[in-house]
């Protein structure tokens, strides 16, 4: 039997069946998450115009930063904790309530800071409404308990809820967004259905008695904060790495310049997000394998990571080819093709870095190494963006983003090599 055939049989054995099923559920979810922005994208560009879409994209970048603060890395630390304690209902109950309580406290604190800043320095009420809508979207996404369902590896229900939320979001945007002044309406139309889905997903957890009503102690919540810290830093650095381009372009250039770059970047991100179901489903599995031993975890991560990276490379090449064909037939701005070429390496390296950082370092308990690597690469990316985006607009931004992702790959590989040497000494 060939090596490829053996790997296929290995991936469908009992140990991997649950991973494959969960990946399938999340793939359906992510499929809608991919189609929804594409459907909405055309409508928003047509309705809001390039200037309006540039402001919309800028608000979404702020939303991403808000979400990082509220999430605080719990998407990984709490999911990992639940995965390793899922036979202990008392423990996962404490994790659930501690995570949500801390998120609500962080939401209140962040809103207070935003309120003071905007009413002290910003007099434009329309701009405040846009940011408030983005804040609601960030809160809705953060309160969605995907991390819990990942941990217990029961993703069918949450996939259905997510799909319905996405459909509602599309309908709301297509119906309510009518002119260039509806920027906040566009954001709110996507935030509210997600909030409804998040509320129901949490209610379902209680209805199905996946948890008991056990309030965590202050000490337990402090431990949760400590465990989430490195993941928070890594996620914050990741957000800087992937979202600062639009933010910094918005500082240097007009909304129309931001809008042209944001269209390409948003489609690239939507395509990369298709890998999320696979990586999210594999993460609890990787955590359990590394809990058995480092060697077992490494073997599992390499076995599942190779096809992911290969698929990422193929998708990146298809992205370039497709954009070249479309740009030659449609009346697209000429620079969008160059942006697609320059962002393609970022797409492929992003998949590789997920395998190296999440499936190996984080799952093995070396989240600090992962976060440090991300911080270094994020700082490099921001500096590079500040130097290049002002001079070369979208071209400089795309080069800086892809270069930062390449640096991250090098740092992660270096750290994995150090960890392997420690285990073989």
pLDDT in tens, 255-270: 777 888 888 888 888 7
Q: Rounded to whole angstroms, how far apart are CA atoms 111 and 117?
A: 10
Mean pLDDT estimate for the chain = 82
| pLDDT value of position 11 | 47
Threshold 0.85, pTM exceeds: no
pLDDT-derived band at 9, boundaries 50, 70, 90: very low
Longest CA–CA separation in the chain, Å = 70
Element (H, E) at 14: helix 14-71
pLDDT in tens, 22-49: 666 666 666 666 566 667 877 888 888 8
Q: What is the dihedral sign for C-alpha 192, 154, 73, 88?
A: positive
As given in the structure block, the two tokens for residue 272 are 């990369």
> Would residue 153 be called left, alpha or beta, if left means φ above 0 and alpha means ψ between -120 and 50 degrees?
left
pLDDT-derived band at 1, boundaries 50, 70, 90: very low
Report whether 321 contacts 307 (CB < 8 A): no
pLDDT-derived band at 156, boundaries 50, 70, 90: confident
Higher per-residue pLDDT: 293 or 406: 406
Q: Rounded to whole angstroms, how far apart are CA atoms 15 and 285?
A: 9
pLDDT in tens, 172-194: 888 898 888 888 888 888 889 88
Name, of 77-81, 313-317, 330-334, the range with top average pLDDT.
Answer: 313-317
Q: Rounded to whole angstroms, how far apart are CA atoms 394 and 402?
A: 12
Higher per-residue pLDDT: 331 or 165: 165
The mean-pLDDT minimum among 110-114, 203-207, 231-235 falls in: 231-235
pLDDT in tens, 102-143: 999 999 998 888 888 877 776 666 777 888 888 888 888 888
Name, of 230-234, 240-244, 415-419, the range with top average pLDDT.
Answer: 415-419
């Amino acid at each position: 039997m060939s090596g490829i055939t053996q790997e296929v049989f290995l991936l469908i054995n009992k140990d991997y069946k649950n991973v494959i099923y969960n990946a399938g559920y999340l793939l359906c979810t992510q499929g809608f998450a991919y189609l929804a922005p594409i459907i909405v994208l055309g409508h928003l560009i047509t309705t809001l115009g390039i200037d309006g879409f540039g402001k919309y994209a800028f608000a979404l970048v702020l939303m991403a930063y808000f979400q990082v603060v509220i999430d605080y890395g719990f998407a990984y630390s709490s999911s990992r904790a639940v995965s390793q304690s899922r036979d202990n209902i008392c423990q996962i109950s404490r994790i659930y309530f501690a995570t949500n309580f801390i998120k609500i406290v962080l939401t209140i604190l962040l809103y207070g800071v935003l309120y003071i800043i905007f009413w002290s320095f910003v007099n434009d009420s329309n701009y405040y409404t846009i940011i408030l809508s983005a804040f609601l979207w960030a809160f809705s996404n953060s309160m969605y308990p995907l991390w819990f369902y990942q941990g217990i590896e029961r993703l069918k229900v949450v996939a259905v809820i997510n799909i319905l939320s996405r459909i509602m979001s599309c309908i709301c945007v297509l119906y309510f967004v009518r002119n260039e002044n509806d920027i906040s309406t566009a954001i709110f139309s996507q935030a509210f259905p997600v909030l409804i889905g998040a509320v129901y997903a949490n209610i379902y957890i209680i209805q199905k008695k996946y948890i008991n009503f056990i309030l965590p102690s202050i000490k337990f919540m402090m431990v949760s904060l400590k465990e989430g810290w490195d993941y928070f830093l890594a996620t914050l650095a990741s957000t800087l790495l992937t979202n600062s381009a639009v933010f910094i372009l918005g500082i240097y250039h007009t909304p129309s310049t931001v809008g042209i770059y944001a269209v390409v970047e948003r489609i690239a991100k939507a395509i990369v997000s298709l890998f999320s179901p696979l990586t999210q489903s594999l993460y609890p599995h990787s955590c359990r394998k590394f809990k058995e031993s480092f060697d077992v975890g490494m073997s599992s991560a390499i076995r599942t990571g190779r096809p992911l990276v290969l698929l990422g490379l193929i998708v990146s090449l298809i992205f370039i080819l497709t954009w070249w064909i479309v740009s030659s037939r449609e009346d697209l701005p000429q620079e969008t093709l160059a942006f697609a070429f320059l962002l393609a390496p970022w797409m492929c390296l992003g998949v590789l870095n997920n395998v190296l950082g999440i499936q190996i370092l984080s799952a093995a308990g070396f989240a600090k190494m992962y976060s440090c690597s991300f911080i270094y690469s994020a700082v490099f990316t921001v500096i590079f963006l500040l130097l290049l985006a002002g001079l070369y607009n979208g071209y400089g931004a795309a080069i800086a983003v892809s270069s930062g992702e390449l640096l991250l790959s090098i740092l992660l590989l270096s750290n994995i090599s150090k960890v392997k040497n420690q285990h073989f000494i």
